[in-house]
């Protein structure tokens, strides 16, 4: 049995923008619709896909308005809990765009790199080794005009998120990790400009599966 741990934010959690827009609380896509579910289906028998997504999760920042969102603080315990892990899929950075953190795309990629090093220096892999790592550049941010409460939290989100691929790819190359640019496969929902619709989860899950097969 091969184990894949997917560590991310609301787009790994499976936040459904359409359902959430008419709900008083966040709603998830069904498990078989989420990209992690697609990944599990595509990989098939002999694979275990662990979904570790959290709404609002950052790379290395404490959010003053939400508790327990710092990925760096939770990651070591997460790795320890699920080991042995063959591969970690790391997709974080969108929430770091929030105005409250005041960091550049380069600094956001550096934050993801901090998490990457935690993974690569851990003993959470097979026989006490480090797991393999797939760094995924987060999706681009789109038009948030229909979600003004989100838009006011993320200034220049579109432009800044489009700077991610170059920074994330360079970071992955430096760490000698596998890399995937999710922006080549998905676009954010026009409902909120942040989250993925079902068809994009399908595209991302299929792209992830194709990449994972080359790594294990």
- Which two tokens mark 20? 């959430």
Domain edges within the chain: 2-215
pLDDT tens digit sequence for 135-179:
999 999 999 999 999 999 999 999 999 999 999 999 999 999 999
Confidence label for 26 from pLDDT (cuts 50, 70 and 90) = very high
Average pLDDT over residues 54-75: 97
List strand residue ranges (DSSP E) for the chain, in order: 2-8, 47-53, 87-91, 132-137, 178-181
- Which two tokens mark 140? 């681009």
Q: How far apart are CA 18 and CA 53, in angstroms?
A: 19
Average pLDDT over residues 3-30: 98
**pTM of the entire predicted model:** 0.98
pLDDT number for residue 92: 98
Confidence label for 209 from pLDDT (cuts 50, 70 and 90) = very high
- Return the closest-CA partner of residue 10 out of 103, 110, 90, 92: 92
Sheet hosting strand 47-53, strand order edge to edge: 47-53, 2-8, 87-91, 132-137, 178-181
- Which two tokens mark 35? 């990209």
* CATH class entry, domain 2-215: alpha beta
């Amino acid at each position: 049995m091969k184990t894949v741990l997917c560590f991310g934010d609301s787009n790994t959690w499976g936040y459904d923008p359409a359902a959430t827009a008419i709900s008083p609380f966040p709603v998830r896509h069904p498990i078989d619709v989420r990209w992690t579910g697609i990944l599990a289906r595509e990989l098939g028998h002999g694979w275990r896909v662990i979904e570790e997504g959290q709404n609002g999760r950052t790379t290395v920042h404490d959010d003053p308005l939400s508790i327990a969102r710092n990925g760096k603080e939770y990651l070591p315990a997460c790795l320890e809990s699920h080991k042995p892990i063959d591969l970690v899929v790391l997709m974080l950075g969108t929430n770091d765009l929030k105005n409250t953190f005041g960091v550049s795309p380069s600094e956001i990629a550096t934050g993801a790199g901090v998490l990457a090093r935690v993974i690569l220096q851990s003993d959470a892999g097979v026989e006490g080794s480090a797991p393999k790592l797939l760094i995924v550049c987060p999706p681009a941010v789109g038009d948030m005009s229909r979600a003004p409460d989100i838009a006011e939290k993320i200034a220049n989100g579109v432009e800044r998120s489009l700077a991610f691929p170059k920074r994330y790819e360079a970071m992955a190359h430096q760490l000698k990790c596998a890399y995937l640019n999710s922006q080549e496969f998905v676009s954010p929902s026009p409902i909120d400009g942040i989250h993925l619709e079902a068809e994009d989860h399908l595209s991302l899950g299929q792209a992830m599966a194709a990449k994972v097969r080359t790594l294990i």
